[in-house]
Structure 1
Amino acid sequence: MDLSLQLGQKIKSYRLARGLTIKELAEASQITSSMLSQIERGQASPSLNTIRLLSIALDEPLYRFFLDSPDIQSDVVRKENRRQLIDQGIHYEVLTPDMNGTIEMMQLTLPPKAKSCQEPLAHKGEEVALVQSGTVELTLDFETCVLYAGDSVRIKSETKHTWQNVGEEPAVVIFAVSPPSF
């Protein structure tokens, strides 16, 4: 595919993802609507300065405009290919293909009565967790809360926390952390 067309398609994709019209993005990036339209259709090659202005207006790092379009298969993690960490029966599975993005997804499986760690630990990055199955007790700093299947919780950055399965069956917790920190 022509390099100008690839670049134009990326710009259009970022613009549409933000719900911007050609006119709105053109104004925000200080170029004409007709120039932006030509760039998006691969009929004009923007200068590096124009790309920089577009990256600022779209709030996208400049380097992203020059990355090859990834093959969707590189972003798929098959269940049997998940990276795993198992320690004393506590089972973590990485659900994201790598840690290069802005978010990571994990699955924690706790055997009955098991704790994720002995002392609550903190990390950078906000965490959102969903109890997929079982019953867990979540300790946040010095408070505890019991969560059941279907319950979710947000854990703010740098909050010490630990998970404990208080049920008789394995408990599964799916969580996302942004930025990645596991």
Structure 2
Amino acid sequence: MSVSRVSPVSSGRCSSSTRPVMRWSSRPSRTRPSCSRSKTVNAYDNEASVGTPTGDGALDQDFLSQVGSRIRALRTIRTLTVQQLADRSQISRRLLTQIELGQANPSLVTVTRIARELGTEFTNLLGDSAADAPVVVHPQADHTLVWSSQAGSSAHLLIATAESRSADLWLWHLAPGDTYRGQADPTRSQELFYVLAGTLTITVDDQEVVVPTGASCRLRSDRLYAYVNGGDQPVDFVRTVVLAA
């Protein structure tokens, strides 16, 4: 005679209030499935962080419209579908469509990634008809407003290299109390600064570095960082971005 054992029988509901009924059974006990439901993970769950405005301001709408049109044109020339370019750029199809229509506010890191998948740099998306000339002069009217905030801060792209290794020259104005939060650039990228007026504070790796007027600075920008103006006077500085290949 086999030894029977006691197994609980419930109504099938996962409730602690259900009182089990005990009975003798000679059948081996079976493991009941858990009542917890598995969560489906979306590959683009972090899309919001990719597509949100950089810092406390936003990318300029004219800049976004121009870049979006250029991305769509280059994608068409390279016979890529929206889905193909989105997959290569590690963003969703919906976000890429919005970028091409000038209806999204992505980070510069996202725009750079899309541009590189198209075989170019994000600054080249703005167009430069004299890129092959030995000397190229951009008058003040040609400087591109890329980022601004309601506090009155702004970032203008002055000029960029036309080579595959991208280097960009920027002029920044950071209003008192304002902050710009940047996303990590490609590995081994760097930024160079020269402060024209005011005192700039750069935060990186949980450190704060103060850069006074007349001082220069080099930042490894392949990590999260921020520019902060904690004073009561505006900060003006020149920034050069050298993105790693």
TM range (shorter): 0.5 to 0.7
Provide Cα deviations, 1:112-134, integer angstroms capped at 9, x if missing partner: 110012xx532122111111111
Over 3 Å counting, the alpha-carbon distance change for 1:180 and 1:77 in structure 2 is farther
Once the two structures are superposed, the pairs formed by residues 4-83 of structure 1 within 5 Å of their partners are 70=133, 72=135, 75-83=136-144
What is the letter of the counterpart of residue 104 of structure 1?
A: D
Partner of 2:219: 155
Q: Deviations over 1:36-62 (max 9, x none)?
A: xxxxxxxxxxxxxxxxxxxxxxxxxxx
The letter of the residue matching 2:138 is V
RMSD of aligned alpha carbons? 2.4
Taking the aligned partners of 2:225 and 2:197, their CA distance within structure 1 comes to 19
Does the C-alpha gap of structure 1 residues 84 and 165 become closer, same or farther in structure 2, counting only changes over 3 Å? same
The structure 2 residue matched to 1:121, chosen from 175, 179, 183, is 183
Larger Rg: 2
- Identical-residue share of aligned pairs (%): 20
Deviations 1:140-160 (A, max 9, x none): 121001111111111114132
1:87 and 2:154 are equivalent in the alignment: no
Distance in 1 (alpha carbons) for counterparts of 2:172 and 2:194: 10
Contact 2:167 2:241 in 1 (8 A): yes
CA distance in 2, matches of 1:180, 1:109: 25
Residue ranges of structure 2 left out of the alignment (5+ in a row): 1-130
Work out the CA distance in 2 between the residues paired with 1:164 and 1:130.
Answer: 15
- TM-score norm. by structure 1 comes to 0.53
User: 1:100 — aligned with what?
Assistant: 162
How far does the alpha carbon of each residue in 1:85-139 deviate from its partner, in whole angstroms, 9 at most, with x for none? 223222001111x46333111111101110012xx53212211111111112110
Q: State the secondary structure of the residue aligned to 2:180.
A: coil
Kept in 2, the 8 Å contact 1:135–1:167? The answer is: yes
Question: Mind listing any 5+ residue stretches in structure 1 that lack a counterpart?
Answer: 1-67
Higher helix share: 1
**TM-score, normalised with respect to structure 2:** 0.40
- Could you tell me which amino acid in structure 2 is paired with residue 177 of structure 1? V
Write the letter of the residue equivalent to 2:201: E
